[in-house]
Amino acid sequence: MAKQDYYATLGVPRDAGPEDLKKAYRKLAMQFHPDRNPGDKQAEARFKELSEAYDVLKDEQKRAAYDRFGHAAFEQGGGGGPFGGGFDFSGAGGLGDIFDQVFGDFMGGGGRRGNGGGHGRAGADIRQAVEIDLAEAFAGTKTPIRIATRVACDACAGTGSEDKARSGGDTCATCQGHGRVRAQQGLFLVERTCPTCGGSGRVIRNPCRVCRGAGTVQRERSLTITIPAGVEDGTRIRLTGEGEAGAAGAPAGDLYVHVAVRPHPIFHREGANLILRVPVRMTLAALGGEIEVPSIDGTKTKVKIPAGTQTGEQMRLRGKGFSVLRSAARGDLFLQVMVETPQHLTRRQRELLEAFETDAETGNKHHPESEGFFAKVKEFFEGGRG
């Protein structure tokens, strides 16, 4: 199946500038990123197509070659690298690296994907989701989590060497100690992490029997995550160094905790403000009175309902809203009144309402809004339709 034109893949014209390319890629990559579409193979394939197209078009030399030769510019020489026989998204220049170049450390990028020059590969980042309720998001909370990850091997102190020597090992013959290898792919020279030493530049001569030279082992860890007051749904919390352990003593990755806030049964959040829809009895709305309403902090506040209150009227309680992140301030609580029509009336209640309705029909101005509306309707049907 023929590949789609890279410009069409990103939905940009052929003369699009760097910022237009970046903006188009960012929008589509956010939509189809695997973290936002878990288990969706079509979204994953689409994301890879977008990353492949952007990786070529964002580079002036690659773009010039593509504009001149099309996809053929990257198919010479075969191989499975980024520009031969399809893109390889597992190593340098891969899917994660392309995404990180645009989004920085968003979704777990940190620019630590492989280190040459005598160091092991840095640990991978971990993503973990936690769910809290609105009251916990208001006050802040601590929540325990368990993650399956790679940790430093105790037997070799994370060195990968049986004698625990961090400097032990021979210079890698494949990369000559640089930790990176280069290969010609089509018109370009591509650099990747050395597959023999994993980027460390050295090959351990006496590998640890427990981790087999990796320096890390798989294990489940327990952590307690502190979630600050005022956190919003979808917030990402970064815990530096709490990700997977790096190989051969290299730095650990980071842990990214994505916070989901469950909807509340009565409060609706809008930024730092809260909305509370309050049903009010028809008689109380007509005569006026006082009601007691809850706050998200667990307290109660008495509110006066003026006589003649209508559905949709809004009352504001200052400082009774939601916490503001990294601040002692709070938003406001807005009460939205809903006047409730009574149901299941007794005979006596019905007689009283019928008497009230008869009184209204005789000319007493109890319902100015409905009277004004139907006066306009009458004018409409009598010819005044302008």
Cβ atoms 242, 114 nearer than 8 A:
no
> Among positive and negative, which fits the CA dihedral 313, 318, 320, 323?
positive
Task: Say whether both 324 and 374 belong to one domain.
Answer: no
Show which of 82, 103, 124 is a domain's final residue.
103
Counting the structural domains of the chain, the total is 3
Show which of 78, 103, 128 is a domain's final residue.
103
Residue 365's pLDDT is 62
Cβ atoms 151, 195 nearer than 8 A:
no
Residue 195's pLDDT is 81
Residue 165's pLDDT is 61
The lowest-confidence range among 19-28, 109-118, 268-277, 367-376 is: 109-118
Mean pLDDT of 122-146: 92
C-alpha distances out from residue 17 to 51, 274, 352, Å: 17, 43, 74
Query: Which span out of 71-85, 92-106, 194-208, 310-324 was modeled with the highest average pLDDT?
Result: 310-324
**Does residue 139 lie in a domain region?**
no
Residue 115's pLDDT is 43
- Segment 80-119, tens digit of pLDDT: 333 443 444 433 344 444 444 444 444 434 444 444 334 5
pLDDT at 158 over 60: yes
**Does residue 77 lie in a domain region?**
yes
Q: Which residue has the higher pLDDT, 196 or 46?
A: 46
Cβ atoms 288, 342 nearer than 8 A:
no
Host domain of residue 85:
1-103
**Does residue 148 lie in a domain region?**
no
CATH of the domain at 274: 2.60.260.20
DSSP letter at 207 equals B
Task: Say whether both 371 and 338 belong to one domain.
Answer: no
Mean pLDDT of 172-192: 78
Task: Say whether both 94 and 14 belong to one domain.
Answer: yes
Residue 175's pLDDT is 86
**Does residue 61 lie in a domain region?**
yes
Mean pLDDT of 228-257: 88
Task: Say whether both 6 and 33 belong to one domain.
Answer: yes
Task: Say whether both 91 and 6 belong to one domain.
Answer: yes
pLDDT at 296 over 70: yes
Ramachandran angles phi, psi of 368, nearest 5°:
-60, -35
**Does residue 165 lie in a domain region?**
no
- Segment 45-55, tens digit of pLDDT: 888 889 888 98
pTM, 2 dp:
0.56
Give the helix, strand, coil percentages of the chain, each rounded to 5: 30, 25, 45
